[in-house]
């Protein structure tokens, strides 16, 4: 975990308290995605969802950033799409590692 002195605010929305950070991580685990509501840069919001290998190790993430004015209107839809993409990547990586026949993420089988 991060030492308490590593929390530096870059905006008024930045998480600078360890307990708040731990609570945020709990929500990320529960929801399957993370939100950045102008925590790094004012006027910019982000959503990201991790994907995992067969051993359930995080190996990457899909993320979308947008101006907060546009992001807020589509946050729910973006969360669904980003989490879905991450879930599909996880399923692909797990199937591939077990030698299963894998259908590409675009849904088309090779000829």
- Please give the backbone phi and psi of residue 11, each rounded to the nearest 5 degrees, phi first: -145, 170
pTM more than 0.75? yes
| Number of other residues whose CB lies within 10 A of the CB of residue 33 | 20
pLDDT at 111: 46
- pLDDT, tens digit, 9 for 90 and up, residues 3-41: 656 788 999 999 998 899 999 999 999 999 999 999 999
Q: How far, in Å, CA of 67 to CA of 43, rounded?
A: 6
pLDDT at 98: 64
């Amino acid at each position: 975990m991060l030492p308490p002195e590593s929390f530096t605010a870059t905006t008024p929305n930045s998480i600078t308290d360890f307990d708040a950070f731990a609570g945020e991580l709990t929500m990320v685990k529960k929801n399957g995605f993370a939100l950045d509501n102008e925590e790094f840069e004012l006027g910019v919001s982000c959503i990201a969802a991790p994907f995992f290998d067969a051993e359930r190790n995080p190996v990457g993430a899909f993320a979308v950033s947008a101006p907060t004015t546009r992001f807020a209107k589509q946050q729910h839809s973006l969360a669904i799409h980003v989490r879905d993409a991450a879930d599909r990547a996880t399923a692909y990586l797990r199937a591939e590692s077990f030698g299963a026949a894998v259908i590409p993420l675009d849904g088309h089988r090779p000829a």
